[in-house]
Each structure stands twice: as structure tokens, then as C-alpha cells.
Amino acid sequence: MTGTMAKKPHRTPVPGPPFIRLLAALADRAAPRTGPDLSDRLSQWIDWTRAVALSRALDGRLPAPADDAPSAVDGLALECERVRATLVETINQPTPAGKPVPVDAIAYRQRCLNVQRAMLTATGRLRGLLRDQLAAGPGELPRLAEVDAVMEQALSPREQQLLASVPALLGAHFERLREDSGSSDVDPDSAWLQIFRKDMQAVLLAELDVRFHPIEGLLAALRPH
């Protein structure tokens, strides 16, 4: 990827999730090299009521699986692939069909919000479908469905807090690129605007990966081993 996010020769790349590294680049900050262990983070993020619910999901009695549960793993996998491909296509479009390429930060912020809402709706639906399939499965699968539901409720506020910062960071990145260009050029084909669009696409694709992590985990649990 080219652009401001790639032109930081004085900064050593920091290993870490691509989405976090891209957000750090947008904010013009170094990504943290170390952080609390996962267990420490979860203890800070999950309040006691949800911790009790999670404990019950882990230790409670498994629901009885449905005898006539349909085997639809392949169909669910295809639906996940279709939804993801559609979202990738939406992200990679410079603008919705039939509309001019925007040349101001407000328009790009709104586009970012629209894409984020589409991702939230689509991945939420898929996650629900996968949990329904797990709940109707044998062995430990119903427990996994219950645990995932509790974890989603517990971690969703933190996730949304992080993702809500993306439009503002992109807006600041837009203004910084325009200022650094030294030009008031707002031509849709201007070099700095093309750089911004590529950076925005990279961030939204990385966010899509994050949103699909639990979906991929649930789908893997449904596949025969």
C-alpha cells in the first residue's frame, strides 16, 4: 500500500493485528509493543454479571441437541463466502454506483459509516445462523453456541468503541493528506485523494477481517474433523 501510512521510514514496523497497526498509522502513533495478557484484558472488559453468565455457559448442563437438526454446514459456508465477497466489492468501489467520486472528508466519513453498518448487519446475521446450527448439534457444540453468545454481549461494547473511532481517524487522515499535498486541488483523480482512497480501503478490509474472525471460528467448529 502506498501513501502516508506507508511513508514512515523512521518508524520500525510493530508486529500486531493489521487492523490495529493501520489505525495506529492513521493516528500517526506507534502501535504498542506490549500489552496486558488476554486474561487481564478480559477481566477489565467483562463485568461481574456477564462473567456469571459466561461461567454458567461454560459449566452448565448442555441443551439436548435436536434429533432432526439439518446438516447445512456447506450451505452456511457458501453464504459466508458470498456475504464476504459482497462486502469486499462494496469496500473496493470508490463510490456507490451512479454517484460521483466524493472530494470532501464529510462524504467519506458517511461512506465509512455506511460500510460499517453493512458489515455489522451482515456479520451479525451470519453469526446468529452459525450459532443456531451449533445449538442443534451434538456433543459440545451447543455449549460453544452459548459461550459465543455471551462473549458477543460482553465484548461488543468494547469492539464498537474501537470501531467507532475509524471514521474520525479517516477524516483526520484525509485533511492531513490534503494539507501535505500543498494544493487546494479537489480533482477526483488527484494523487493525494487516490492515496486516501487506497488507505481507506485497506482499513475497512482489515476491519472486515476482524468482524469475520468469530464467524470463521464458529464455521470451523461445525466442520467435521
Along the chain (225 residues), what's the average pLDDT of each consecutive run of 10 residues? 46 56 71 48 45 46 44 86 96 78 88 94 94 87 86 83 90 91 76 92 94 91 76
For residue 215, being part of any structural domain is answered with yes
At residue 12, the pLDDT reads 43
| Number of domains forming the structure of the chain | 1
65: left (phi over 0), alpha (psi -120 to 50) or beta: beta
Has residue 181 been placed in a domain?
yes
Q: Are 202 and 5 in contact (CB under 8 A)?
A: yes
Residue linked to cell 493485528:
17
Nearest 5°: the CA angle 136, 56, 150 is 65
31 within some domain? no
141 within a domain of the structure (yes/no): yes
Inside any domain, residue 206? yes
- Cell numbers standing for residue 97: 454506483
How high is the pLDDT of residue 118? 96
- The predicted pLDDT at position 139 comes to 80
Query: Which range marks the domain in which residue 89 is found?
Result: 73-222
In a domain, residue 9? The reply is no
What pTM value is reported for the model? 0.74
- What is the DSSP annotation of 100-157? PPP-SHHHHHHHHHHHHHHHHHHHHHHHHHHHHHHHTSSTTHHHHHHHHHHHHHHHHH
Q: Tell me whether residue 117 is in a domain.
A: yes
What pLDDT does 46 receive? 44
